[in-house]
Amino acid sequence: METSTAINLLHHKKIAIVGGGPGGLTLARLLQLKGVDVKVYERDFSQASRVQGAIIDLHFDSGLKVIEAAGLLEEFKANYMRGADKYRLLDPKGNILLDDGNQSGATSFGDEKFRPEIDRGALRDILIAALYPDTVIWDSQFLTMQQVGQGWELHFKNGTIATADIVIGSDGYRSQIRPYVTDVKAKYSGATIIQGEIDHPETACPEMYELVDQANLMAMGAGATIAVQPRGDGGLTFYVASMYPENWGATSGIDFNDAEAVHSYLADRFKDWSPVFFSLLEACGQFVLRPLNYFPIDQRWETKANLTLIGDAAHLMPPNGEGVNLAMLDALDLSECLTDPKFSELQEAISAYEKIMFERSADLCRETIEGIADFASPNEESVEELIRMLAGDE
């Protein structure tokens, strides 16, 4: 790896990044390119210990821009899923409303509207391969930390302790670092997702497998959205979204650890929908309930001297196709601020990053919350609007 010399504020400083998701790993790569001493402490036992979920699309002016800044565009091009940026939209009866829409017709890198999809695991592998060996310390679930002198002493569940001069929390939506930065808590958006994975859809739900055909499939109407996405390993991930009261998981009387109980709820909930959807849901043996939460749009905190947050830990919002892109942009902006010679104090550099991050995420979060019912409880009008958007008419 070609690096420039660690300069100014980060000279002889050790940085601990807690959380090895797209945000944390990107930040580690960008800082290592500048010669900075950085470790990533990740809760997962190993690189292969967890399915990373479905595909994500990177955008020209965010995720792809960062991939380029990280010097990884060729690796990305070798691993992205060609054609997976296509959308297939269905109604609850299984009629296809839109086929092969991709919002722009763009199919090549360099085109501002091109949004190539990549398997989350593949993106993670690319980022890890670009780091110095042993940068990621696996099996490091962060528990607590305390200030020691000018720095931090971090304690992990496996009993290990690490020290660092600067700590960056990139540990996602239930961040354990966040309480050291702010006590602002997440709010419920009104929508909840039931998520499932199908490892062998070609045999478990062949009709749905054919319908998906490596595209993003969405069935919308009658107060629900079922979204199905291909995974890089041939499996499928699906999300069933609806508006539910807060704490619905606890009050619904459904045991979400009992697949049969969930099947029975879904069979009733989707009894008026085409059976092809229930064949998908029935093929799933384990469900995850995800209430969609967000951090308040106007949240602010007092900048800390040697501690900050990026990605979901900083600005959780309901899924809007931007989360990974935002986390990567945070990584780029933070790496640039921390190494910008115009700042003479670390706190000043962190404050400059936080200002950019707050403004950018607030705008997107506002739009997402305003549109949450269109996504989770669509009606004819919202579906028509989505068709126009995916067809590239808006």
Name which position in 16, 17, 23, 38 contacts ligand FAD (CB under 6 A): 23
Segment 136 to 175, residues that bind ligand FAD, using CB under 6 A = 140-142, 170-173
User: Tokens 């086929």 label which residue?
Assistant: 99
Q: Where are the alpha helices (DSSP H) in 255-311?
A: 259-269, 275-282
* Helix (H), strand (E) at residue 283: none
Q: Does 18 bind ligand FAD (CB under 6 A)?
A: yes
Segment 280 to 299, residues that bind ligand FAD, using CB under 6 A = 290
CA dihedral 293, 67, 81, 60 (to 10 degrees): 80
Nearest approach, Cβ of residue 7 and ligand FAD (Å):
26
Q: For ligand FAD, give the closer residue by CB, 9 or 313.
A: 313
Binding residues for ligand FAD, rule CB under 6 A, total 34
Residue 362 identity (one-letter amino acid): A
Nearest approach, Cβ of residue 235 and ligand FAD (Å):
15
Cα–Cα distances in angstroms (integers) from residue 264 to residues 207, 252, 279, in the given order = 21, 13, 12
Q: For ligand FAD, give the closer residue by CB, 204 or 313.
A: 313
Nearest approach, Cβ of residue 265 and ligand FAD (Å):
19
Residue 45 identity (one-letter amino acid): F
Nearest approach, Cβ of residue 316 and ligand FAD (Å):
8
Q: Is 29 annotated as a binding residue?
A: no
- The residues facing 137 across adjacent strands are 41
Nearest approach, Cβ of residue 296 and ligand FAD (Å):
17
Cα–Cα distances in angstroms (integers) from residue 309 to residues 39, 103, 141, 166, 354, in the given order = 15, 32, 17, 11, 9
Separation between Cα atoms, residue 230 and residue 233, nearest integer Å:
8
Q: Does 319 bind ligand FAD (CB under 6 A)?
A: yes
Cα–Cα distances in angstroms (integers) from residue 180 to residues 137, 198, 253, 347, in the given order = 22, 38, 35, 15
Q: For ligand FAD, give the closer residue by CB, 26 or 303.
A: 26
Tell me, residue by residue from 176 to 205, as one string, x for binding to ligand FAD by CB under 6 A and - for no binding. x----------------x-x----------
Separation between Cα atoms, residue 386 and residue 207, nearest integer Å:
25
Q: Is 134 annotated as a binding residue?
A: no
Separation between Cα atoms, residue 33 and residue 27, nearest integer Å:
10
Cβ atoms of 181 and 304 closer than 8 Å: yes
Q: For ligand FAD, give the closer residue by CB, 54 or 98.
A: 54
Segment 52 to 81, residues that bind ligand FAD, using CB under 6 A = 56
User: Which residue numbers belong to the known binding site for FAD?
Assistant: 57, 120, 312
User: Which spans of this chain sit near ligand FAD (rule: CB under 6 A)?
Assistant: 18-24, 41-44, 56, 140-142, 170-173, 176, 193, 195, 239, 290, 311-313, 319, 321-325, 327
